[in-house]
Copies of this chain bind each other. A is one copy, B any other.
Amino acid sequence: MPPTTLLRRTTLAFPRTSTLSTQTRTISAYGYTQSKALTFRDYGDPASVLSLHKHSISPPHGSALTLRFLASPINPADINQIQGVYPSKPTFTTSLGTAHPLAVGGNEGVAEVIALGDAAKQSGFAKGDWVFMRAPGFGTWRTHAAAEAGQLVKLREEAREGISAVQAGTVSVNPCTAYQMLRGFGNLKEGQWFMQNGANSGVGRAAIQLAKVWGYKSINVIRSRTGEDAAQKEEELKEELKAIGADVVITDAELQAREMRDRIKEITNGGRERIGLALNCVSGKPAIAMAKLVGAGADFVTYGAMSKQPLTIPASLLIFKDIRFHGFWVSRWSEQNPEDKVKMVEHVLELTRKGEFRDSPMDEIRWEWETTGEELVEKVAQTLEGYRSGKGVFVFGDSTK
């Protein structure tokens, strides 16, 4: 958990709410930094509980640093965290200059070091460095933040080359989830198969591309579309996923059809090529349909439940087919393996630079100094609806410098 005493209470010289000030320069002549943050004091619906809060950050001393955020995505887990239904809790603190404790939304992002104390310099940080948060719960939906050196991981200069802020700011959750599930379970060898649902998600697209790098073959399940042009939409999405490296793409309906068993057999060379791994973010019935198609002894990794249904597993799948059901939560994994995490991030960024890995479609939300709280909260609420082309990511404009 981040310390709560880093930020000095705002003084009269630096009015604490945005309604009292329209100043755009965020660093004052005295070294104080002005910041705006999307905060909440109670759990609830993001549209109701989030508000933009302005405060000031005192000049950093010792191991403290002042950060300017560059890019911070809106992940579904961030929404669940605000709703109070996520096991990883945010930090509520009065250090942003309020009488009642506030938490800042967001868990992922990349920031630039704009000022730092001597001890932070001795820890290897410098002005201009790009940094990630070592653990979730920091609060990344804000223009600026005070941090301690121990809370941050620096992105090496070489790893940053040719990488955009959005690329760096969105690599820690989805690509890392896909990466670690493919490498940490199933013991897949080159040429072997895995299966996944939610293949059109950020994690799904990352898994398709990373699998190509390691020579794994993928069977990808997408949600069946409805309406008049359903077939065409499905066909387009299938082609899109194949273009980034998917070997086979099927719909939910195809997955659950009786003839799928034969088709899978055909696809896997008469069943001689083993499907050793399944990645599940849907749960419910479609997940069990997938579990029935993988090979005996396969690892079945759940990282989501988009259907809002549990996994109803017949005991025979466990006892006789020896399917091993695991869960994966990138937050826990990252906290337990901070060094592997940094290596993984740098590897994904290297693949990005080489053109072997492309980000999922992103909906960039500009956050300028003058952007209102209403506009920002609306964007968060839209992410909640889940009908957008891609994932929302706050991109901080030059006016927040």
Contact of B313 with A320 in the complex, beta carbons under 8 Å: no
Q: Which of B302, B310, B317 contacts A327 (CB 8 A)?
A: B317
Task: Tell me the residues in window 274-320 of chain A with beta carbons closer than 8 Å to chain B beta carbons.
Answer: 283, 302-305, 310-320
Q: Is A326 an interface residue (CB 8 A)?
A: yes
Q: Kindly list chain B residues whose C-beta atoms are within 8 Å of the C-beta of A323.
A: 327
Write the chain B residue with the least CB distance to A307.
B315
Question: A interface, how many residues as a size bin?
Answer: 20 to 34
Complex Cα distance A289/B116, Å? 50
Q: Is A355 an interface residue (CB 8 A)?
A: no
| Given A324-B324, A326-B324, A327-B323, A316:B87 Cβ within 8 A | yes
Complex Cα distance A121/B167, Å? 71
Task: Say how many copies of this protein the assembly contains.
Answer: 2
Write the chain B residue with the least CB distance to A332.
B322
Complex Cα distance A320/B330, Å? 10
Complex Cα distance A283/B312, Å? 11
Q: From residue A86, how far is it (CB to closest CB) to chain B in Å?
A: 9
Q: Kindly list chain B residues whose C-beta atoms are within 8 Å of the C-beta of A312.
A: 310-313
Write the chain B residue with the least CB distance to A288.
B310
Complex Cα distance A329/B328, Å? 25
Contact of B319 with A327 in the complex, beta carbons under 8 Å: yes
Most B CB within 10 A of own CB, among A319, A323, A332: A319
Q: Is A43 an interface residue (CB 8 A)?
A: no
Contact of A325 with B325 in the complex, beta carbons under 8 Å: yes
Contact of B318 with A327 in the complex, beta carbons under 8 Å: yes
Contact of B315 with A313 in the complex, beta carbons under 8 Å: no
Q: From residue A203, how far is it (CB to closest CB) to chain B in Å?
A: 13
Complex Cα distance A312/B314, Å? 9
Most B CB within 10 A of own CB, among A314, A315, A329: A315
Task: Tell me the residues in window 95-135 of chain A with beta carbons closer than 8 Å to chain B beta carbons.
Answer: none
Complex Cα distance A83/B87, Å? 46
Contact of A315 with B283 in the complex, beta carbons under 8 Å: yes
A-B contact pairs, 6 of them (CB 8 A): A305-B315, A305-B316, A311-B315, A313-B313, A322-B332, A323-B327
Interface pairs A-B: 8 shortest CB-CB: A318-B327, A305-B315, A325-B325, A319-B327, A302-B318, A87-B320, A311-B313, A312-B312
